[in-house]
Structure 1
Amino acid sequence: MIADGHDTRVLSHGRRRARSVLLLHGYTHSPAQLDPLAALFFARGYNVVVPRAPGHGLVDPDGHATVTAAGLRAYAAEALDTAAALGAETGVLGVSGGGVLATWLAVRRPETVRRLVVLAPLYAPHPSQVPPAARVALRVLHGRRLLPDRRSSRGYSYRAVAQYLRIASALPRAFPANGPARVAAVLAPGDTTVDGKLAFELPERLARAAGASLTLDTLPSHLGLAHDIISRHRLGEHADVLYERYAALYEDA
């Protein structure tokens, strides 16, 4: 059962517009995480689609542990179809696990995804969480449900995280030359959840292959942010400034 206020959002101006954007929330979160940013894009004239990922936003707080790589890919592809129908130009902004799916869409559907922004993308865990030598074991043994599930200190299901890692690991070494025209990645210096090197390296390679404009944005350390750089309760007094910053990165302003 879906919890109140956590289902899919579609913010439409009632007709197809010049621009639409697909916003993909992070793992263990729901579309509510992106409400302020969705409202900002809508006010700027975009049609906005914020879908609920499988197993997320449920009354059962452990529902996210049931996600599969195939289910996540299907959800993201269907959501992109919806967004593309609402705008002549479409882009994707994804947070954490949503950033993995956003990148997968940009690679899989380069003719559709013209702008890509990833916030703290979970291409791989931070080395302090999972040593590089153990990543394959996590991805295979937990990803294929060969081991009992475990929970990290953040409450992350190993099985669920492994599904995102399976998608990330399957991204091609050679990115498409007809990819997005605009790419940006954002990371907080205090993020000990994701591999910061990969968080910038993959978007940079994707942008280079496509000849896209690129921004790799490290947030100021004085903000004291860690992995969650989108939820309003985490951003506090800096929230509105950061939402404007993310929208500007998307628009290459």
Structure 2
Amino acid sequence: MTRFWVNLVAGLLLTVGGLIAARTIGVQVAGLYESADGQLTWGALIAGIFVAGTICWWLLVGLSRQPTLLRGAIAGALSGVVSYPIVATVVAIFQRLPPGTGFGDRLLAIVEVSAFALATTGFAAMFVMAIAGAICALILRRLYPPLREASGLIVRLLRGLGALLGVLALVLLSVFVWLTLMPLGRGTLADSRTPGPAMSHAEAIATYDKILVEEAGLPLHPRCKSKLLTHGSRVAETIIFLHGVTNCPAQADELAPMLFELGYNVYVPRLPGHGEADQMTYALAPLTSEDYVATTEKAIEIGRGLGEEVVVMGLSAGGALTMWSGQNRADVQHTIAMAPFLGPNVVPPWANRAATNLLLLLPNMMLTWNPLEPLGPSDMDYAYPRVPTRALAQFMRIGEVVADNARTTPPAAQGLGVMVNEADYAVNNALARNIVELWRTHGRGVDLKVLPVSMRLLHDLIDPRQVDANTELVHKLLLEMLERRPR
């Protein structure tokens, strides 16, 4: 009887194949082993693939002692699928949990993460791992006793299973290609804006007052109305801050006064659907990219009335709108996009457009930001703890349109800045870097500030009520970027 250690060797070989698959697919990996905040690490990836590979090989090859190419390929493809939830489980085991977290919450987190990752990149993992499994069978064949002739029924079953997996992979590939080639409906999102006459200071104030009247009729959280800090007259520069998705203007409660004290007029608009007192609202579900861009444009018009020049900065989804402003608005003096959300980190850049179209086609699903904290942080009762999947897709769509435009058209804004947080496991930083490189191909300078993993900063760099926030450090780095901007 073949010793069990051969299955362990097979698990190691499939692990090597899995790591090659991860690199080929473009999975973002944080570090070697530390994953207190839920990041995917090399340690978790290796452990998860090894467990999945060893079990699948033992079930399909080890028990029967039939290391054929077909069995090896099937074992590899199956381990590629099974490794997703196992890796997610390993990550969850070492994740820092809030008090009172139950087993059900942990299980829901594992299911959500692994299902989304598998749906977007699973077909590619199946192909690579099937090849790895076949190679593994060739390498280990000599360690098994002479091949016996399998019964006709078993052969037919294996061939049927192999054919089924092959058809499934081809179907997934065909759907992926179709989603990738599907038009995004760029519409007005792709249009560069020709600046018209600027408002006067009085007109800007009057426009802001109308917004407050409209917001007074909405069931908003007291902290979440649009905020304007003005010195009473037009100043040299106005700063517009665009908050993140499911947050509200309260996110800038520390940042806005600090900028105001430095002499800027500061405007923090409330994005549509945000800031309602009911945290479990569905207000974001029907909104589109055009709705968010329209609010951004209106904010820029108000900003032009408040200052001779306008600086747009934003975080996460607000960062995506900031990059849109940099690409399309010639009347913006400078932009600083902080941790822009152009796509989730579980989706590699090559699959982002397909994932965007898929989320736009599927029915809206409410996705909990952190299943381990289903009601969100207790000090941030103004931020929604969950988000519609189509709302995420709308900002992904904005990012795809900006990237498309940047391939052929230079950015319109005079100055460009991007802050990337390498410790951020919520967004795909490669998408932001890609746009930066596209801008640079047009001969434009871009101030790219990279926050290293060693800083251990959260995705939400700005909200002072975020647990473990380090706003003092972030504010300092942000002011340095403001000082470096072209004048």
Q: TM-score, normalised by structure 1?
A: 0.88
Please point out which of 124, 128, 143 is paired with 2:343: 124
**Percent of residue pairs identical:** 30
Taking a change above 3 Å as real, the CA distance of residues 237 and 23 of structure 1, as seen in their structure-2 partners, is: closer
Instruction: Write the deviation string for residues 89-128 of structure 1: whole angstroms up to 9, x where unpaired.
Output: 1110011100111111222212x111110110012221x2
How far off its partner does 1:184 sit? 1.8
Structure-2 separation of matches of 1:46 and 1:229: 21
> CA distance change for structure 1 residues 69 and 196 in 2, over 3 Å: closer, same or farther?
same
Q: Deviations over 1:148-207 (max 9, x none)?
A: 424154433211001111111112022336x33332211222211111112223134335
Which of 21-30 and 191-200 deviates more?
A: 191-200
Residue 206 of structure 1 is matched in structure 2 by: 439
CA shift at 1:219, angstroms? 1.7
Is residue 423–residue 452 contact of structure 2 (8 Å, CA) maintained in 1?
no
| Cα distance in 2, alignment partners of residues 223 and 120 from structure 1 | 14
Which string of whole-angstrom CA distances, capped at 9 and with x for unpartnered residues, describes residues 116-150 of structure 1? 10110012221x2x355653343224325x42424
SS in 1 for 2:254: helix
Cα gap change, 1:200/1:136 in structure 2, threshold over 3 Å: closer, same or farther? closer
In structure 1, the partner of 2:76 is none
Confirm or deny that 1:65 pairs with 2:273: no
The answer to whether residue 323 in structure 2 is matched with residue 92 in structure 1 is no
1:182–1:250 contact (8 Å) kept in structure 2: no
CA distance in 1, matches of 2:459, 2:473: 18
Q: Which moved more, 1:27-36 or 1:192-201?
A: 192-201
**Superposed counterparts of 1:106-125, under 5 Å:** 106-110=326-330, 112-125=331-344
Deviations 1:2-35 (A, max 9, x none): 1111110011111111111111001111011012
Larger RCO of the pair (alpha carbons < 8 Å, separation 6+):
1
1:189 aligned onto 2:422: yes
CA RMSD of aligned residues (A): 2.2
Preserved contact between residue 31 and residue 50 of structure 1 (Cα < 8 Å): yes
**Which of 149, 157, 174 in structure 1 is aligned with 2:365?**
149
Provide closer, same or farther for how the CA distance between residues 104 and 44 of structure 1 changes in structure 2, counting only shifts above 3 A: same
Distance 1:201 1:79, change over 3 A: same
Structure 2 counterpart of 1:140:
357
Match of 1:174 among 408, 431, 438: 408
Distance 2:291 2:443 in 1: 28
| Matches of 1:18 and 1:241, distance apart in 2 | 26
Tell me which moved more, 240-249 or 115-124: 240-249
**Map of 1:34 onto structure 2:** 252
Structure 2, gaps ≥5 residues long: 1-218, 371-385
Higher relative strand content: 1
> For 2:319 and 2:310, how far apart are their aligned partners in 1?
16
Residue 121 of structure 1 contacts residue 199 of structure 1 at CA under 8 Å; is this kept in 2?
yes
Distance 1:210 1:43 in 2: 35
SS at match of 1:151: strand
Deviates most, 165-174 or 131-140: 131-140
Which deviates the most, 226-235 or 41-50? 226-235
Q: Any conservation in 2 of the 1:191–1:226 contact (CA below 8 Å)?
A: yes
Give the structure with the larger helix fraction. Answer: 2
Distance (whole Å) between structure 2 residues aligned to residue 135 and residue 152 of structure 1: 20
Bigger mean CA offset, 195-204 vs 94-103:
195-204
Partner of 1:102: 322
* 1:223 maps to 2:455: yes
Equivalent pair of 2:421/2:452 in contact (CA under 8 Å):
yes
Distance 1:10 1:148, change over 3 A: closer
TM-score, normalised via structure 2 length: 0.47
Q: Distance in 2 between matches of 1:107 and 1:56?
A: 25
Runs of at least 5 residues in structure 1 that lack an aligned partner in the other structure: none
Deviations 1:194-233 (A, max 9, x none): 1111222313433553633x32222243332231112223
Whether the 8 Å CA contact 2:255–2:475 is kept in 1: the answer is yes
SS at match of 1:156: strand
**Is the CA contact 1:225–1:235 (under 8 Å) kept in the aligned structure 2?**
no
Tell me if 1:46 matches 2:264.
yes
Q: Which has the larger radius of gyration?
A: 2
